[in-house]
A and B are shown apart, each in its own frame.
Chain A
């Protein structure tokens, strides 16, 4: 039975849904609506974060068992919303710079968040599909939002074709799972005892996971990530690499842990190693900062899959913590790139995203250089920043499951990663700019700097006291 009072179990989702729709109305009825919409979006995201905390320690199964509220789900949702808050705060400046300051941007952003929240809370494969598609379709549009630029168009088309192709695989997997278990409800699917003896069910699960591994960007399915992140508006790439990945991981992680797929541990371990190797090694050769960060996000997916391969109770904690840290540092780095980026009048291309632009940035713009250094150190896993503890918990989870070889390989590969993060840092502080034509003054408006400061605070606070995060969401340590 569905009751009206169950709506009160979903206040954050309702706030996001309401404001996503309402923004379109503001756009129509208010003149000079950009600032109003910006403020409205900020307020609604903040209130959604605030109300999310009401549901900690409430294990709820609502709407005819279609949605399930658990502590890890709330943690993932709060991480996503925090990422979105930082993205929105930094968006205004970027959109004004690129002359694409339309209300639809914020509306699409919030619809994407709505899809992510539905997907994470889902307890039914139909609902997972609806959430996934709501998120993906909004992302296709957001990637192509700079519609006058060839790069943005191209990224959007690549993302769209590959994303739809993979949607087909996910759906076929879902259809086979439904056919074998006779139900779309995950609780019923879990309760079926002889699942992994059935060949069709294994095929279905494999197809389902292939689609999600594509969304996360794990090794054989990672080819789209650099192209799409390079083509998308920089601020959207930042959001894609954090919120989009977190939603996909938050959806499949409970499924992996509940189905107890220990037989497939080797597959996940090999995928993790291949992803880390690919991301870290190819990133060394990059000369474009957006592509470098894209490869670093592939490497991060590899670290997360070290935790997934562990499949124990530490894995959930470690992955949630790593994702929180990752949101702050990766998003922060992308926002700095978006602030430093210049609009090019003639050639319709992104400007100032080459690594050579970062030479001597420490002298020209010390604040941005310091922030960027913090984020890169955190991504490289240097203590006391949050990224270090994230990797520590993931490798610890792997050691707890007797996967010592996996964590050793992971640590070695993350040391390769330190090279290219430090290369950018050395460029910023210890080299002089060769190109005199680079104008030194970059106007930094209040909101851009506020957003990055928020990310810096997150990186440092969670780095200094990692337990704060677990206490916040009541993970048992």
Chain B
């Protein structure tokens, strides 16, 4: 059996890649995908802990996270489309009316 630390390390690395992507990328849709990557790395953590501890609630949690991620993606893409209709851009550097 593979040691749990490898799973945790992998998911921590994936999470960091997601965070870095959110901070670096400029396209709203790509930022979205990076956030999905973060959520999925968390799912990996939860499943690893669940298998390690022999407790089922971690796996239940994963299903709930996936549902919520889907709902957020639906709302998020709708907001991006509404913004694109008004501004014809999804580059977050150009979304700058609100400041101060």
Which residues in A have some Cβ–Cβ distance to B below 8 Å? 126, 129-130, 133, 137, 140-141, 144, 147-151, 153-158, 160-161, 164-165, 167-168, 171-172, 174-176, 178-179, 182-184, 226-227, 230-231, 285-286, 291
Contact = CB atoms under 8 A, between A and B. Distances in A.
Contacts of B52: 179
Given A129-B68, A137-B71, A144 B95 contact: no
Interface string B62-87: 00110010011001101110110011
Contact of B68 (A133, A160, A183): A133
Interface in B44-100: 45-46, 49, 52-53, 55, 57-58, 60-61, 64-65, 68, 71-72, 75-76, 78-80, 82-83, 86-87, 92, 95, 97-100
Judged by DSSP, the binding face of B is: helix
Nearest to B74: A137
B72 A153 contact: no
B68 to A, nearest CB: 5
Contact of B57 (A158, A168, A183): A183
Given A148-B86, A153-B82, A227-B98, A172 B58 contact: no
A63 to B, nearest CB: 14
Given A150-B97, A154-B95, A178-B46, 17 more contacts: A126-B60, A129-B61, A129-B64, A140-B72, A141-B79, A153-B83, A157-B83, A158-B98, A160-B79, A161-B92, A171-B39, A171-B42, A175-B46, A175-B49, A179-B49, A183-B55, A227-B98
A105 to B, nearest CB: 15
B25 to A, nearest CB: 11
29 contacts: A126-B60, A126-B64, A129-B64, A130-B64, A137-B68, A137-B72, A137-B75, A140-B79, A144-B79, A147-B82, A150-B97, A153-B87, A154-B98, A155-B98, A156-B79, A158-B98, A160-B75, A161-B32, A161-B35, A168-B39, A171-B39, A175-B46, A178-B49, A178-B57, A178-B58, A179-B52, A183-B57, A184-B61, A227-B98
Contacts of A157: 28, 79-80, 83, 92, 95
Shortest Cβ-Cβ A-B pairs, 4 listed: A179-B49, A168-B38, A153-B83, A227-B98
Contacts of A147: 82
Contacts of A291: 100
Given A165-B22, A227-B99, A230-B98, A144 B82 contact: yes
A184 B76 CA distance: 28
A124 B82 CA distance: 36
Contacts, number: 126
Given A133-B71, A153-B83, A158-B95, A184 B45 contact: no
Contacts of B58: 175, 178, 184
A226 B92 CA distance: 17
B87 A172 contact: no
B75 to A, nearest CB: 5
Contacts of A231: 98
Contacts of A286: 100
A155 to B, nearest CB: 6
A144 B75 CA distance: 10
Nearest to A181: B53
Listed residue (A137, A154, A183, A226) with the most chain B CB atoms within 10 angstroms of its CB: A154
A295 B50 CA distance: 43
B70 to A, nearest CB: 11
B29 to A, nearest CB: 11
B64 to A, nearest CB: 6
A226 B71 contact: no
Contact of A165 (B35, B57, B65, B80): B35
A418 B42 CA distance: 45
A169 B25 CA distance: 19
Contacts of A174: 61
Nearest to B18: A168
A171 B35 CA distance: 12
Nearest to A127: B64
Contacts of B32: 161, 164
Contacts of B100: 226, 285-286, 291
Contact of A164 (B35, B45, B49): B35
A227 B76 CA distance: 18
A149 B19 CA distance: 30
A179 B45 contact: yes
A161 B80 CA distance: 10
Interface in B1-53: 8, 15, 18-19, 22, 28, 31-32, 35, 38-39, 42, 45-46, 49, 52-53
A168 B14 CA distance: 12
A289 to B, nearest CB: 14
A70 B80 CA distance: 41
A176 to B, nearest CB: 7
Contact of B98 (A130, A140, A151, A164): A151
A164 B83 contact: no
Contacts of B55: 182-183
Contacts of A129: 61, 64-65, 68
